[in-house]
Amino acid sequence: MPSKTSALALFLAAGLASAQPAQNKAGPPLHAESSSSINVTTAADGEQTVEIRNVSYDVSGTAVPGRPRDERLLLRNTTRSKWFTGEMGVESTVTLEAWPLGQDLRQKPLYNLTVAGDDGHAVDNALFVVFRGLGESQWWSAYKLGSGQHLFDTYVPLVSFSISRETEETRYVGLEAPGDDNKDARLRQPNVVAVLTYASQDHVIREALLTCDDPEKATLLRSYADTTRTLSLLEDADQPTRTMKIRFSENYPSPPEPVEIRIPVRNDDLDLTHAQLPPQMHLNAWRR
């Protein structure tokens, strides 16, 4: 008969073994290769066509929103671009495919996301952000890393911050300047300037529509060629207060004529009631 000490040791060993996370168990080996390539062809008139395909792999952390907490995702990011030496502009797409880590990549991925853009990367183990600025404007689209679902678009670099000092609860803010060809007829109204979006890692918390009573001023503020937009976070070092600042500035050769808007962030939401706006401008809750 084993001693009490030996029995206790066996009991503790069994408990430790059963407590090991599932992803630490040995699984079948995984090997995958995807080739990057470049192809250059020359036409009779001397114009060259350049086609590039780049592939990269990455592994997420655990606790991806919308997925099992202990699961990691294997991500395959493929960028395809095509451009002509005699022309401006480029045709480019970004494709993201995701599998649970350890799954055979010959199996169907959890999702396959393909959008026009020339760069994409994971952010905070929660989002996949694609740079979409292939034309005259620079803009980004944010997608949920766990599902590939579209979250929101922004025409300024994404702003992020944690609403808690004790835990990591990240919020994301973007500003969309809708073009004249926007599919939503409400955003083609002459008084529309922009849409401000406040979101968590897995859903939009608040959208706010910025308008101007002067249609000519509204057109200027949402212009990609004539105006530069910035979005920034203002924080008080002594108090847990945060304010989003939107700034519009006319481009050279016009004088800057800056327009600033400030929106407090309170109770995990945009405090539109106490927003500071110039005359003739309004910021109201809005939903797609």
Asked whether residue 4 is assigned to any structural domain, the reply reads no
Range of the domain at 226: 149-288
Task: Looking at the structure, tell me whether residues 156 and 264 fall in a common domain.
Answer: yes
pLDDT in tens, 106-163: 999 999 999 999 899 999 999 999 999 766 788 999 999 999 999 999 999 999 999 8
pTM listed for this prediction: 0.86
Task: Looking at the structure, tell me whether residues 195 and 262 fall in a common domain.
Answer: yes
Task: State percent of the chain over pLDDT 70.
Answer: 87
How would residue 45 be classed by pLDDT, with cut points 50, 70 and 90?
confident
Asked whether residue 141 is assigned to any structural domain, the reply reads no
Q: Inform me whether the pLDDT recorded for 24 exceeds 90.
A: no
Residue 241's pLDDT is 83
Residue 239's pLDDT is 66
**Distinct helix (H) and strand (E) counts, the chain:** 2, 18
Residue 252's pLDDT is 93
Q: Pick the closest to residue 188 from 209, 163, 167 (CA basis).
A: 209
**Distances in whole angstroms, Cα of residue 8 to Cα of each of 3, 4, 103:** 9, 6, 38
Task: Looking at the structure, tell me whether residues 211 and 247 fall in a common domain.
Answer: yes
**Under a CB-based contact definition with an 8 Å cutoff, are residues 220 and 241 in contact?**
no
Task: Looking at the structure, tell me whether residues 118 and 165 fall in a common domain.
Answer: no
pLDDT in tens, 190-243: 999 999 999 999 999 999 999 999 999 999 999 999 999 999 999 976 666 899
When comparing pLDDT for 86 and 186, which is higher? 186
Q: What is the separation of C-alpha 274 from the centre of its chain, rounded to a whole number of angstroms?
A: 27
| Distance from C-alpha of 39 to C-alpha of 52, rounded to nearest angstrom | 6
Asked whether residue 127 is assigned to any structural domain, the reply reads no
Boundary-marking domain end, from 107, 122, 137:
122
Task: Looking at the structure, tell me whether residues 185 and 72 fall in a common domain.
Answer: no
Stretch 44-70: mean pLDDT: 94
Backbone angles phi, psi at 271, to 5 degrees: -90, 85
Task: Looking at the structure, tell me whether residues 182 and 83 fall in a common domain.
Answer: no
Task: Looking at the structure, tell me whether residues 160 and 283 fall in a common domain.
Answer: yes
Asked whether residue 63 is assigned to any structural domain, the reply reads yes
Task: Looking at the structure, tell me whether residues 104 and 161 fall in a common domain.
Answer: no
Task: Looking at the structure, tell me whether residues 111 and 169 fall in a common domain.
Answer: no
Asked whether residue 140 is assigned to any structural domain, the reply reads no
If one counts the domains in the chain, the total is 2
